[in-house]
Amino acid sequence: MNTYPHVWMAFVAMLLAVGTAAAEPALTEDNSWAFTPAEDPYSDEAVLDLSHLNEDVAGETGFVRVAEDGSFIRGDGEPIRFWSVISRVDFRIQNMSAEEIDQFYRFLAKRGVNMVRLFATLEMAEEGAEITDYDRGQVEAIWRAVAIGKEHGVYSIICPYWAHFTVPESWGLAGGEQSPTGLLFFNPTLQDAYKEWVRELYTAPNPYTGIPLKDDPAVAILQIQNEDSMFFWTTQGLHPEQRRILHRQFGDWLVEKHGSLEAAIEAWDGQSEPDDDLEAGIVSMIDPPSMIWHMTQDLSGGRALRMRDQTEFLARLQHDFYADMADYLRNEMGCRQLINASNWRTGSQLRLEDLERWSYSAVDVGALNRYSTGIHSGPNAGYRIDPGHYIVNRSILRNPLQVPTNVRQNLGEPFVLTEAAWVTPNFYQTEGPMLMAAYMGLTGVDSACWFDASHYTWQLDPRRTFWPVVEGETGYALGKWTGMIPTQVGMFPANALMHRMGYVQQGEPAVHEARPLEHIFERREPIIAEAESFDPIRDTQDLRGATGVDVAEVSRLAFLVGPVHVEYGGDPEDTRVIDLAPYIDGEAEVVRSNTGELELRYGVGVFTLDAPKAQGVTGFLSEAGGRFELGDVEIRSENDYATIQLVSMDGLPLAESRQVLVQVGTVARLTGWETEPATFERGDAVVEGLRIERTGMPPWRIKNTRAAVSIANPNLSRATLLDADGYPDRQVSVSTEDGRLSVELPEDTMYMVLE
């Protein structure tokens, strides 16, 4: 990196410039409409209600399984696709009444949701608690949620553990009070406690259904743990007493491999570490306080040989932990669900990510948590939005390397994004559900759990008046992690329908990489990686669309061309990369899918979908000319930014359908939200962005729609504007000519049905 400082700084400047440093246009009564939905009676008069897509009872045909091609199938062998959300049990579900949970599932099912990830933290981390104690309130809340969701045809993923707490002294772990990150993989005392926590959850009869969760097919997936890894930076913070346990296990493993510790040191050309204690059977990681950093670096000589063994040990440790825990869940406890290991990232996408993903191959389902966000900076910005905070708005449409579905999928396994969102307060959110549905369809990513279903209905007031903040004219703090807002859950119906009905064609693999395990243990770079590498040469090359198959030669834009598969333990001779040149035009800044249905013009920031049953556009529409001609649809818009989609509601192609959903999303802010251009420091950089002057108050204001659509379909003759809950609001004038219906969209369009 130091070799090209001028190139690197230019690249950083390019990243920070993406989005807007100009003041956001104020949303007023003149250019926006107030989002004030009435309480939903859930009556049969709703025209838009996707709950009919759900089974009458989730799991009515048996347990969800994996087909030969790696996709999900129901118990009867029929394919099933999931449109999903995530909800925290401790903060959300546990605090809802049974009536609110019922409304929660009805609200979601109506918008196409058929899976909820119930994210719990079962440990009791208060001082005085025993390590085997667990949160009975959360167990009870999970039981109740599974039972109520089941009756609405909504499946569950259950995650019981997140190492995001402080271990109390009373647990008796060596080292006392400490972070538990990494410990679950190697500390037998914590592993035994974890088994006690989940045994009650999964094996005791659910009082709301009469059967234990282990026997309930409404529970589709059991996730072992959330967001922890031996290959993430947190491993560098292990308590010295816990390091000693890990290093003793490393010593035992080396004896198995080399015959003795002395033979291991000899195999490493005598390379040793200060913390080695061969007499005690202890062999240290290389420089433990910086061990992950060293794993991201080029090494030579004996240190490289030692690192090779260290890497394999940690990978097998993590892989075997997942295999052993899956065996416990399935064979000792009798759980019949699919099992997912985890969903986390590593310290290096290039050198370590495949170690993480290979460890997941010990179980059934691969997963990852990945968000899209702009910059949000200020005190407590991780969970709240305050006056005085700084932001930079960013659209993924101009950041194609960061599309969340850009993932290397284990060959033959389902893959789920167990957390995803276009995170508030980023201005450009309505693109999210459309992009996810389209690219999940193209790549075969099976589902994404939208974070966070934090309320049982629309989140009309995200203010947190109980958090200390300067009040009055500047407004209150806002909750950051909510997806129950018009620009996120409001964009579900068209995209849930599109995804679950398979309206987007899956592409042929753009990349199939066969990787011997030895290459992974040696930390060799794959031919294509996922997230930003922070390498100015490589990132520039990715956007140009290089097509070779040497290390670091395959453009990451290939993720937007077709699926990228990895075969662990495969023969490198079986690696295949299609000719990407027909699909990636670096000069024009365009990438197209190999199905011909998807096109992302990342230079201008516009994405179009053109499939027989779903067509639409999202992005900076007026800047791109404002007119978009698709297969059967023409869209005209003067909106600076908007998402406009037409999706068949009856399963027929748009040219033949007798019921078509038109869905529109623009931008939204609370009334009175105000920002001003400002510069602020972020790390060592000075960033041009916006300062939040006022956070505003309800209601949400949504930028007026300024658009018209026409569709070539002689069966359509009328248009009905729907309200936010899918009920008829009013008839809208249309014109028909030569078998084509045209309609000017009202300013307050969110949903319209053409019939």
CA dist 182 and 228 (Å) reads 6
What crossing angle do the helices spanning 136-151 and 188-203 adopt, rounded to 10°? 40
The DSSP code for 452 is: -
- Residue appearing with tokens 């549905």: 437
Give tens-digit pLDDT for 293-343.
999 999 999 999 999 999 999 999 999 999 999 999 999 999 999 999 999
CA dist 602 and 584 (Å) reads 11
CA dist 115 and 82 (Å) reads 6
Output the pLDDT for position 464: 85
Q: How far is CA 11 from the centre of its chain?
A: 26
Find the range with the poorest average confidence among 18-32, 491-505, 562-576: 18-32
Provide the token pair at 11: 């690249």
Residues 60-69 as b or e (16 or more Cβ within 10 Å = b): ebebbbbeee
CA dist 755 and 752 (Å) reads 10
Provide the token pair at 321: 């932990």
CA dist 728 and 282 (Å) reads 71
Contact call for residues 360 and 366 (beta carbons, < 8 A)? yes
Nearest to 538 by CA among 521, 550, 523: 550
Provide the token pair at 93: 């579900």
CA dist 364 and 307 (Å) reads 29
- Residue appearing with tokens 């400002």: 678
Residue 228 has pLDDT above 70, yes or no: yes
- Residue appearing with tokens 């913390």: 275
Contact call for residues 379 and 404 (beta carbons, < 8 A)? no
Contact call for residues 159 and 225 (beta carbons, < 8 A)? yes
CA dist 561 and 575 (Å) reads 17
Contact call for residues 166 and 177 (beta carbons, < 8 A)? yes
Nearest to 435 by CA among 500, 353, 498, 343: 498
CATH numeric code, 11-234+317-500: 3.20.20.80
**Size (the chain), residues:** 755
Q: What is the mean pLDDT of residues 7-17?
A: 40
Give the DSSP H/E element, type plus range, for residue 743: strand 740-744
Give tens-digit pLDDT for 404-438.
999 999 999 999 999 999 999 999 999 999 999 99
Local structure of 468: helix, strand or coil: coil
- pTM for this entry: 0.95
Give the DSSP H/E element, type plus range, for residue 219: strand 219-223
Give tens-digit pLDDT for 174-196.
999 999 999 999 999 999 999 99
Output the pLDDT for position 552: 47
CA dist 751 and 703 (Å) reads 15
By percentage, how much of the chain surpasses pLDDT 70? 93
Contact call for residues 156 and 416 (beta carbons, < 8 A)? no
Output the pLDDT for position 551: 38
Nearest to 418 by CA among 483, 492, 342: 342
Output the pLDDT for position 59: 98
Find the range with the poorest average confidence among 14-23, 546-555, 669-678: 14-23
Give tens-digit pLDDT for 664-689.
999 999 999 999 999 999 888 999 99
Strands 32-35 and 633-637, sheet pairing: unpaired
Q: What is the mean pLDDT of residues 52-81?
A: 98
Nearest to 275 by CA among 243, 234, 312: 243
Output the pLDDT for position 1: 32
**Residue 287 backbone zone (phi > 0: left; psi -120 to 50: alpha; other: beta):** left
Contact call for residues 70 and 100 (beta carbons, < 8 A)? no
Residue 715: is it exposed, middle or buried by C-beta count within 10 angstroms (0-12/13-18/19+)?
middle
Residues 570-584 as b or e (16 or more Cβ within 10 Å = b): beeeebebbebeebb
CA dist 282 and 245 (Å) reads 8
DSSP 351-390: TTHHHHHHHHTTSSBEEEE--B--EEESTTTTTEE-TT-E
Q: How far is CA 366 from the centre of its chain?
A: 12
Output the pLDDT for position 553: 72
**Residue 637 backbone zone (phi > 0: left; psi -120 to 50: alpha; other: beta):** beta
Find the range with the poorest average confidence among 394-403, 429-438, 518-527, 542-551: 542-551
Q: Which residues contact 279 (CB under 8 A, 6 or more apart)?
A: none
In sequence order, the β-bridge partners of residue 707 are 637
Q: Which long-range contacts (CB under 8 A, 24 or more apart) does 30-33 make?
A: 31/703, 31/704, 32/701, 32/702, 32/703, 32/704, 33/701, 33/702, 33/704, 33/747, 33/748
Q: Is the dihedral of CA 321, 324, 328, 331 positive or negative?
A: positive
In sequence order, the β-bridge partners of residue 744 are 708
Neighbours of 25 (CB within 10 A): 13
Residue 345 has pLDDT above 80, yes or no: yes
Nearest to 706 by CA among 649, 664, 668, 671: 664
Greater model confidence, 560 or 21:
560
Find the range with the poorest average confidence among 517-531, 543-557, 649-663: 543-557
Local structure of 251: helix, strand or coil: helix
- Residue appearing with tokens 């450009």: 428
Contact call for residues 367 and 225 (beta carbons, < 8 A)? no
CA dist 527 and 554 (Å) reads 6
Give residue limits of the domains in the chain. Answer: 11-234+317-500, 238-315, 508-585
Mean pLDDT of the chain: 93
CA dist 17 and 499 (Å) reads 33
In sequence order, the β-bridge partners of residue 636 are 627, 708
In sequence order, the β-bridge partners of residue 629 are 634
Measured at the alpha carbon of residue 364, what is the angle toward residues 358 and 365, in degrees to the nearest 5? Answer: 75
